[in-house]
Amino acid sequence: MKSFSVTLLLLAIITTFAASPASPAPLKKVPKKSVPAVTKEEPVNPYTILSIIPSQGEPGRRVNLMGSGFSADTVTWLGTTAIPTAVISDRQIEFEIPRVDPGLYGLYLKRPDGAISKIYNFPILAAKPIIDAITPDTVFGCAPDQERLVTLSGKNFQESSALLFDGGTIRSSYTSSEAISFTVPHNVLGGQHNIQVKNQDDIVSGTVAFYIDMKPVIHAVHQGEERVNSYELILEGHNFQQGSSVVVDGKQLYNGTDRDKSRFVNCSRIIYERYPYDRSTKSLKIQVVNPNGEESPIMTVSAP
């Protein structure tokens, strides 16, 4: 009986294991596929610059770039500033140096997508003052103040610019970066003088010539006051001087020793007091000679 029970127990155990499902095989690990990292593509240098002429300059000067790859959307940059650019062709570009402080700037080309050329060092110099014209270029030595005003026309003048007259500073008036004026001093000698403009940074313009004309000139002669045995001839002109003498028909009048005499009134008028032998009209050749020997052209007049 005991043997029968053991047999039943073994049969039950075998039946239980037969009814249980088989254990699944372990899963193998599948290696992850390597995914390439996404990188931002750097812009490729689209330009080749072969020459920069000039390689430095002052504001207002034009610069020419030669190379390749230039297009209508190419822009020139100086440091952080975009400069108006003239694209002449795919091999030539021009721009004008802007009015910026002197210094060393990075010069490069850039297009809208951010691609830039190689960066070059470009020195910008202080602007040199330039005199293009002087008006008038001649002033009479005895001209009044309103006729002694002279204007310099040019470029790159500064409010602090100094005007040099024969190397010395004289008072001037700043009008704009293109105009400076001054009044010719009365105490300067006649002849040619040199005019320059010097900016605050000691950069000096070229020299222009200015002339002070001291030569006497007679513009007109007319009859003045009449007396019993004499009358006045009034000489009108410019650059007459205290001490100027009158020459009539080649004879120089010496005041105090001659009966006929002259009287200096101002730099534009001399009165010649004449004592004629008779009242018939004659042809007279009259001239003014200054103390330094400068002579006026001879004027012929008809008078007693």
Q: How far is CA 172 from CA 8, 142, 196, 198, 209, in A?
A: 135, 20, 12, 12, 17
Cβ atoms 121, 52 nearer than 8 A: no
Please provide residue 17's backbone torsions phi and psi, each rounded to the nearest 5 degrees. -65, -35
Q: pTM of the prediction?
A: 0.64
Give the integer Cα–Cα distance in Å for 72 and 33. Answer: 46
From edge to edge, which strands make up the β-sheet containing 245-248? 251-252, 245-248, 282-289, 299-303
The pLDDT value recorded for residue 298 is 96
> Would you state the structure tokens that stand for residue 38, as one six-digit string?
């996404």
* pLDDT per residue as tens digits for the range 165-214: 999 999 999 999 999 999 999 889 999 999 999 998 789 999 999 999 99
Domains along the chain with CATH numbers: 48-124 (2.60.40.10), 130-213 (2.60.40.10), 217-303 (2.60.40.10)
Q: Mean pLDDT of all residues in the chain? A: 86
- Give the residue from 287, 251, 250, 292 showing the smallest Cα distance to 270: 287
